[in-house]
Structure 1
């Protein structure tokens, strides 16, 4: 299994409604692709308070790196990913992506 984790430092002018819309779009992509499950996303509520500006994130579980590659190549995923970058502070500099093999 691959745990795909994306953390975003959204610009201050980006509304929670916009972020929710982006995450809902990515959840729909996850639902329709084989080998992708468990979309979870939202705003951090960590009591530790060490997000360092990365207040939003999501994760998706993939059965394999091939399934992750299918997701990455998907046109709808690319659309929502571009929305994340467009709304992130500093563009791509405001996005962190981790893929952890479990």
Structure 2
């Protein structure tokens, strides 16, 4: 399986309600992609306080690399990606992605 981790540093004017809307839109993409196994999102509550401004994020698990590619190519995901980029501090500089393979 592939784990896709995305951390986002939202602009100060982006409200928690708007973040919630964006994450709900993201979750709706799962129904279109049979290779997406799970998705969760939220606000960091880490006691370590090492977020460096990346206070929101999501994790999505995919069956394999092809399923992750299908997600990346999905039109709704691309539309949402543009919205996330617009809402992030510095555009793409305010978004960190990390993918790795793991055994379920």
The answer to whether 1:58 aligns with 2:40 is no
Contiguous gaps of at least 5 residues in structure 2: none
TM-score after normalising by structure 1: 0.97
Distance, in Å, in 2 between the alignment partners of 1:37 and 1:19 is 22
Q: In the alignment, which residue of structure 2 is the partner of 1:42?
A: 42
Distance, in Å, in 1 between the alignment partners of 2:4 and 2:31 is 15
The answer to whether 1:21 aligns with 2:21 is yes
Distance, in Å, in 1 between the alignment partners of 2:51 and 2:14 is 18
Aligned-residue offset at 1:8: 0.3
Greater alpha carbon shift after TM alignment, 19-28 vs 31-40: 31-40
Aligned-residue offset at 1:31: 2.8
Contiguous gaps of at least 5 residues in structure 1: none
Q: Tell me, yes or no, if the aligned pair for 1:31 and 1:37 is still in contact at 8 Å.
A: no
Structure 1: 4+ residue segments shifted above 6 A: none
Aligned-residue offset at 1:34: 0.6
- Map residues 65-80 of structure 1 onto 2, 5 A cutoff: 65-80=65-80
Q: Tell me, yes or no, if the aligned pair for 1:2 and 1:100 is still in contact at 8 Å.
A: yes
Q: Tell me, yes or no, if the aligned pair for 1:3 and 1:99 is still in contact at 8 Å.
A: yes
Q: In the alignment, which residue of structure 2 is the partner of 1:88?
A: 88
How many correspondences in the alignment?
102
TM-score after normalising by structure 2: 0.95
